[in-house]
Amino acid sequence: MDVNDHSTSYCREVEAYLCRKNDGHLIRIVGPAFEQVCGWATRGIPIKIVFRGIDRYFERYYAKGPRRRPVRVEFCEADVLDVFDDWKRAVGVGAVTAAAAEAADEDAAAARKRGTLPAHLDRVVARLTALRAGEGRSLDATLDDIIRELDAARADSKRLRGEARGALLDRLRILDVRLLQAARTGCDAPTLQRLDADADVQLAPFRDRMPAAVYPQSKRACIDRLIREHLRLPTIAFD
């Protein structure tokens, strides 16, 4: 498939996904919108990252109350780029082209400011508690331990400074790794095989530019991110 065919196919996949999110209302991706989405393809943004960015926009849109009009793809770009920036940091890949690198710098500058540490802990505990109430039972023991520890930590998190704050941030990173390890162990073989294949697809635009020793690390990080998304796990680390 040549570049033009790939960009057209990519745009049609985005168009179809947006149609489903808009309850069947089709808004054609043409003109400037087509060029915009082709730019995402050129940067190597995985199609599932685009979908996640669109999902993020819709989550905010629904939170504001009943929808009044279909969402256009142009409205989703900030979220798509934000999710892509998070994905690149998570899996350790660089931009495909110099132009993409410049765009990534702009994206990072425009990224939403993170909240405070206490607010972060509140959100994480709420999401872990919701997971604990779900149907799956494989993570129960791990979730109980982490929720109990974070509950104790958030009471004093506003007052922490210096080394004490640094120690808590280190502990959050350790808990995040523990949660992902437990989640990976709890996944069945077909799920892991599917996520392994998805990771290869997502990393394909970047693989030729990666040193051979780096690819396995990036792939594992990508699979961890896919596991997190599959199970709707929060990120416990706060960096």
Is the pTM for the entire model greater than 0.85? Answer: no
* CA–centroid distance for 103 within its chain: 18
Q: Could you tell me if 10 and 93 lie in one domain? A: yes
Q: Do 149 and 80 lie in a common domain?
A: no
- For residue 61 the two structure tokens come to 């849109």
Q: Is residue 29 part of a domain?
A: yes
User: Is the Cβ–Cβ distance between 10 and 40 less than 8 Å?
Assistant: yes
For residue range 173-197, what is the model confidence (pLDDT) as tens digits? 999 999 999 999 999 999 999 999 9
Contact predicate 36/74, CB 8 Å: yes
Please check whether residues 96 and 125 belong to one and the same domain: no
For the segment 108-141, what is each residue's pLDDT rounded down to a tens digit?
443 344 578 888 999 999 989 988 877 778 888 9
Q: How many domains does the chain have?
A: 2
* Boundary (domain end) residue, out of 60, 92, 110: 110
Measured distance CA(208)–CA(118) in Å, rounded:
41
> Could you tell me the residue range of the domain that residue 214 belongs to?
117-231
Contacts of 84 (CB under 8 A, 6+ apart): 40, 43, 45, 49, 53, 107
Pair (9, 75) in one structural domain: yes
Enumerate residues 6+ apart whose C-beta is below 8 A from 198: 48, 226
Statement to judge: residues 28 and 127 lie in one domain: no
